[in-house]
Amino acid sequence: MKIKVLKKSENDLKIEIEGGTHGLCVLLQKRLQEEPDVDFAGYDVPHPLASSPIVYVRMKGGRKPEEALLSALEKVRQTNDTFCKELDSVMQA
Protein backbone atom coordinates (compact mmCIF):
# COMPACT_ATOMS: atom_id res chain seq x y z
CA MET A 1 0.00 0.00 0.00
CA LYS A 2 1.40 3.39 -1.00
CA ILE A 3 0.29 6.75 0.32
CA LYS A 4 0.76 9.89 -1.72
CA VAL A 5 0.19 13.41 -0.39
CA LEU A 6 -1.81 15.31 -3.01
CA LYS A 7 -2.37 18.51 -1.04
CA LYS A 8 -1.10 19.73 2.28
CA SER A 9 -1.71 23.11 3.87
CA GLU A 10 -2.20 24.48 7.36
CA ASN A 11 -5.84 23.33 7.57
CA ASP A 12 -6.23 20.83 4.71
CA LEU A 13 -4.82 17.43 3.83
CA LYS A 14 -5.59 15.33 0.79
CA ILE A 15 -3.95 11.92 0.42
CA GLU A 16 -4.27 9.07 -2.06
CA ILE A 17 -4.14 5.53 -0.67
CA GLU A 18 -3.03 3.22 -3.43
CA GLY A 19 -4.54 -0.21 -2.78
CA GLY A 20 -6.94 1.17 -0.16
CA THR A 21 -10.47 -0.16 0.29
CA HIS A 22 -13.86 1.29 1.15
CA GLY A 23 -13.73 -0.51 4.49
CA LEU A 24 -10.48 1.17 5.47
CA CYS A 25 -11.66 4.59 4.30
CA VAL A 26 -15.05 4.38 6.04
CA LEU A 27 -13.38 3.41 9.31
CA LEU A 28 -10.80 6.18 8.94
CA GLN A 29 -13.47 8.75 8.03
CA LYS A 30 -15.57 7.79 11.06
CA ARG A 31 -12.62 8.14 13.45
CA LEU A 32 -11.56 11.45 11.87
CA GLN A 33 -15.08 12.83 12.34
CA GLU A 34 -14.78 12.05 16.05
CA GLU A 35 -11.76 14.35 16.35
CA PRO A 36 -12.89 17.69 17.87
CA ASP A 37 -10.93 20.02 15.56
CA VAL A 38 -11.93 18.29 12.32
CA ASP A 39 -14.27 20.41 10.21
CA PHE A 40 -14.66 17.86 7.41
CA ALA A 41 -13.42 14.34 6.75
CA GLY A 42 -14.36 12.23 3.78
CA TYR A 43 -13.09 10.11 0.95
CA ASP A 44 -13.73 9.50 -2.72
CA VAL A 45 -12.92 6.71 -5.12
CA PRO A 46 -12.51 8.54 -8.44
CA HIS A 47 -12.88 5.36 -10.53
CA PRO A 48 -14.53 2.11 -9.43
CA LEU A 49 -11.88 -0.04 -11.13
CA ALA A 50 -8.96 1.83 -9.58
CA SER A 51 -8.33 1.01 -5.94
CA SER A 52 -6.85 4.38 -5.00
CA PRO A 53 -9.24 6.25 -2.75
CA ILE A 54 -8.57 9.88 -1.89
CA VAL A 55 -9.01 10.93 1.75
CA TYR A 56 -9.76 14.56 2.64
CA VAL A 57 -9.32 16.22 6.02
CA ARG A 58 -10.11 19.88 6.76
CA MET A 59 -9.49 21.36 10.20
CA LYS A 60 -11.31 24.15 12.04
CA GLY A 61 -8.02 25.40 13.40
CA GLY A 62 -5.56 24.65 16.14
CA ARG A 63 -4.13 21.26 15.20
CA LYS A 64 -2.64 20.25 11.89
CA PRO A 65 -4.64 17.81 9.76
CA GLU A 66 -1.84 15.24 9.84
CA GLU A 67 -2.03 15.23 13.67
CA ALA A 68 -5.76 14.46 13.48
CA LEU A 69 -5.07 11.74 10.93
CA LEU A 70 -2.46 10.10 13.15
CA SER A 71 -4.79 10.30 16.16
CA ALA A 72 -7.62 8.73 14.14
CA LEU A 73 -5.29 5.98 12.94
CA GLU A 74 -4.28 5.22 16.52
CA LYS A 75 -7.97 4.85 17.43
CA VAL A 76 -8.43 2.50 14.48
CA ARG A 77 -5.46 0.43 15.69
CA GLN A 78 -6.87 0.26 19.22
CA THR A 79 -10.28 -0.82 17.89
CA ASN A 80 -8.60 -3.53 15.82
CA ASP A 81 -6.61 -4.77 18.83
CA THR A 82 -9.75 -4.89 20.98
CA PHE A 83 -11.67 -6.75 18.29
CA CYS A 84 -8.86 -9.28 17.82
CA LYS A 85 -8.67 -9.98 21.56
CA GLU A 86 -12.43 -10.40 21.84
CA LEU A 87 -12.57 -12.66 18.79
CA ASP A 88 -9.71 -14.74 20.12
CA SER A 89 -11.44 -15.22 23.50
CA VAL A 90 -14.69 -16.21 21.80
CA MET A 91 -12.93 -18.68 19.50
CA GLN A 92 -11.08 -20.23 22.46
CA ALA A 93 -14.33 -21.00 24.25
CB 5 within 8 A of CB 15: yes
Extents of the domains making up the chain = 2-92
Which pLDDT belongs to residue 50? 76
CATH homologous superfamily of 2-92: RNA polymerase, RBP11-like subunit (3.30.1360.10)
Strands 2-8, 12-18: pairing is antiparallel
d(CA 58, CA 38): 6
d(CA 29, CA 37): 14
Strands 38-44, 2-8: pairing is unpaired
Confidence of residue 39 (pLDDT cuts 50, 70, 90): very high
pTM of the model: 0.85
pLDDT tens for residues 55-69? Answer: 999 999 789 999 999
